[in-house]
Structure 1
Amino acid sequence: MQHNPHLPGSDENRAADSVVAAMRDLITLGLSQGTSGNVSVRHGAGFLVSPTGIPAEALRAEDIVPMTFTGTWEHRLAPSSEWRFHRDILARRPEIGAVVHAHPTYCTAFALCGRMIPAVHYMIAAVGGPTIRCAPYAPYGTDALSAHALEALEGRGGCLLANHGMIATGPTLEKALWLAVEMETLARQYAIALQVGAPIILPDDEIARTVERFKTYGPRSRADGLVQP
């Protein structure tokens, strides 16, 4: 019998299920709303990405669009309008297995101001460096936006997109979602601290040491072990 990757229980179906679950998580975690936000996961020689225009609660595994790294797809639905930066991030960064894009309130507020988030808390090390950069504005879905995002993500796991939202990545979809939550939490804390007074910025060498410690930090399966620093 010829293998059918769309049969229930197939690797592709499980990967598509994970994208559906992540899209719903964006809503329940307060990271997105309506049909905004999109998710991709590396799969086989290409990747799977959420489709355009379908609310998360209505998504099914068969709605998730398989794509190639040349930017082609054969599916009844069109992929997210942001498929270009999903493709380019996954193509450029082989260590990344999943990409999450969302419009959470506090990250987006800083993005609206074109402001990066500095090292006001050691948890910024989860992003891989002493800042969460803000990529310059470009229209959504364009090659220009993808190029800006790649530059802002250099040496980082996440970034802001000016006048738009945020991107979080990870080796797995679980870790990408976790990082998105951490980024929004940090943005909220920074926003409140700015109202209280002048936040103290931690030095780069302290963040560099914490980045090293964070290489084993974040969500872990039981198979990985549960010990964290």
Structure 2
Amino acid sequence: MSASLPLLSHRPLRAEIIATCRHMNDIGINQGTSGNVSVRVGDRILLTPSGIPYGDMRDEQIVEMTFDGTYYGPCRPTSEWRFHRDILARRPDIDTIIHTHSMFSTTLSCLRRDIPAVHYMIAAAGGDSIRCADYATFGSQALSDHALTALEGRYACLLANHGMIVLGADLKKAMALLVEVETIAAQYWRALQVGEPVILDSEEMRRVIDLFKTYGRQDAADAGLRHGGLSAPAVA
């Protein structure tokens, strides 16, 4: 493979990755050069580079990498490339990973708390909780192993004393989940300032998780709904 090829391939996706990173900082869900993003492209991965401010990042600096750890382009990948690679290798159901040091998720991770079912929207992350992975040094294989465990059957997890990870089918879906998880983390943190929040029970969460199988689908069944046509009749 030519060393120049990664500079030319997947340009629209590279630009979308950079735009996603800048958007995270713009809305305050990430800061500085922390956090990182990866997207599967066939049998390879596109990753954000290490240590480059998102505002300065250029398309050619997005790193193309194979699953054996070989990378192409002028920049090294994020120091967290191991968990990006390992999660994508383990999870054929997703193609995108976003990692941030968002304020409320990271605060809870410093307490090493799972996020319980304080709100039914936690089902968007795949279960009745968002687990907090055990602590390990950033960039290490141990951290990747802990993240894989916490993400079993889930689309999001916290990383102890570090931050959070979300998974998605594409950048837009992963970003939407990122915002949702951070919102739930903020709600949980705020509730804890007042008292001990009421946690939804397992029976209710089973109902919610079942409903989430068709959540947002236009063809979802609802016995109480009747489609009256593409336009409403004129009011007399």
TM-score by length of 2: 0.87
Q: Is the 8 A contact 1:217 1:228 kept in 2?
A: no
Where 1:215 maps in the other structure, the secondary structure is coil
RMSD: 2.1
Residue of structure 1 equivalent to 2:89: 91
Q: Using the alignment, how far apart are the partners of 1:151 and 1:157 within structure 2? A: 12
Aligned-pair identity in percent equals 54
Q: Is the 8 A contact 1:5 1:13 kept in 2?
A: no
Shift of 1:217: 3.7
Q: Using the alignment, how far apart are the partners of 1:226 and 1:182 within structure 2? A: 24
Residue of structure 2 equivalent to 1:55: 53
TM-score by length of 1: 0.90
Residue 126 in structure 1 maps to residue 124 in structure 2: yes
Q: 1:31 to 1:40 in 2, by over 3 A?
A: same
Superposed, which structure 2 residues align to 1:111-150 within 5 Å? 111-150=109-148
Q: 1:225 to 1:27 in 2, by over 3 A?
A: farther
Q: Is the 8 A contact 2:60 2:73 kept in 1?
A: no
Shift of 1:216: 4.0
Report the structure number with the largest CA radius of gyration: 2
Q: Using the alignment, how far apart are the partners of 2:70 and 2:170 within structure 1? A: 23
**2:39 pairs with one of 31, 41, 64:** 41
Shift of 1:117: 0.5
Greater mean alpha carbon deviation, residues 197-206 or residues 157-166: 197-206
Where 1:156 maps in the other structure, the secondary structure is coil
Shift of 1:5: 6.5
Where 2:52 maps in the other structure, the secondary structure is coil
Q: Which amino acid aligns with 2:197?
A: P
Q: Using the alignment, how far apart are the partners of 2:221 and 2:103 within structure 1? A: 29
Q: 1:228 to 1:33 in 2, by over 3 A?
A: farther
Q: Using the alignment, how far apart are the partners of 1:216 and 1:23 within structure 2? A: 29
Superposed, which structure 2 residues align to 1:5-24 within 5 Å? 6-7=7-8, 12-24=10-22
Q: Using the alignment, how far apart are the partners of 1:217 and 1:28 within structure 2? A: 28
Residue 73 in structure 1 maps to residue 71 in structure 2: yes
Superposed, which structure 2 residues align to 1:79-228 within 5 Å? 79-217=77-215
Q: Is the 8 A contact 2:44 2:66 kept in 1?
A: yes
Q: Using the alignment, how far apart are the partners of 2:211 and 2:195 within structure 1? A: 29
Q: 1:226 to 1:139 in 2, by over 3 A?
A: farther
Shift of 1:57: 0.7
Q: Which amino acid aligns with 1:117?
A: I
Gaps of 5+ in 1: 219-223
